[in-house]
Amino acid sequence: MLVFNVIMLNVKIAVSTLSIYTYRDVDLTGFIEGNSDVKFWEIIDEGFHKLSDDVIPKLKEMAAGLDLFFSVHAPILSINIAESEPYLRSTYLKYLEKSISNASKIDSEVYIIHSGSLTSLTYFYPELAWSSLIESINHIAKYAYNHGLKIAVENGSSKTDMFRSGDDGLRIVNSVNLDNVGLCLDIGHALISNSLIDITHKLKDRIIHLHVHDNDGVKDTHSPLGSGKAPQNILKDFLKEFKGWITAENYNIEDSRKTLKNILNLL
């Protein structure tokens, strides 16, 4: 087994628990312990493997005993921080506050959030969605700051996602009031939205977290890096100056390990 416990040039090579997201009977802590050569983990705080009250102390104990480090991905499903309806958005933010609090309990270094999306109403009035999104990010950033966390806003692939281009990312980072806000570049999402060059060119100094997976440029398959259309030369050039987390985000651990090997070949 390869050992992914070295910090290379301020880069932290990690695996996302997306690799067990749909596996109901897999124990999170047992899974991490069984892949002890991986020292950096991005925990998706949702579903069968969320940061529950019984899991948090186990992760803290494992971190101390196995020299592990964590980042946390915010809940994904049914959460829209660009929702224009105040009551709904307030409910989403309360839910994320609880998640951020739990992330801080395992000393998460980064908290990753999706940028939200247009609704059937804001599709026709996008400025309503942008106003809601910026207000939400400032709220989340302040709450995360008070818990010692950086947040990273992730780009999406859908035409209704708020952050799809370099200009979208600039609008986000230029509208927040705290310096604990950065961006998460999802390579696979950028392939689908045809924005990889645009985002890496305009936002390279604001990207603090990477999600690495591949696809055919059409479907978000989260395939291993090197099996799709991800341009290796562009990634290699970008990684020369990148500092932060590089997370393999695949649907199973075998594909995650393939991605990790290809990441190492690019560094």
Q: Given this model, what pLDDT does residue 2 score?
A: 53
Sequential pLDDT tens for the chain (267 residues): 455 555 555 789 999 999 999 999 999 999 999 999 999 999 999 999 999 999 999 999 999 999 999 999 999 988 999 999 999 999 999 999 999 999 999 999 999 999 999 999 999 999 999 999 999 999 999 999 999 999 999 999 999 999 999 999 999 999 998 999 999 999 999 999 999 999 999 999 999 999 999 999 999 999 999 999 999 999 999 999 899 999 999 999 999 999 999 999 998
Question: Hey, what are 121's tokens?
Answer: 């109403």
Q: Given this model, what pLDDT does residue 7 score?
A: 55
Kindly report the backbone phi and psi dihedral angles of residue 12, in degrees, each rounded to the nearest multiple of 5, phi listed first: -115, 115
Q: Given this model, what pLDDT does residue 267 score?
A: 87
What is the spatial distance between Cα 59 and Cα 50, in angstroms, rounded to a whole number? 11
What contacts 46, CB < 8 A, 6 or more positions away? 73, 75, 76, 77
Q: How far apart are the first and last CA of the chain?
A: 19
| Torsion sign across C-alpha atoms 91, 95, 98, 99 | negative
What is the spatial distance between Cα 254 and Cα 260, in angstroms, rounded to a whole number? 10
Q: Given this model, what pLDDT does residue 67 score?
A: 92
C-alpha distances out from residue 234 to 121, 191, 204, 266, Å: 37, 12, 12, 10
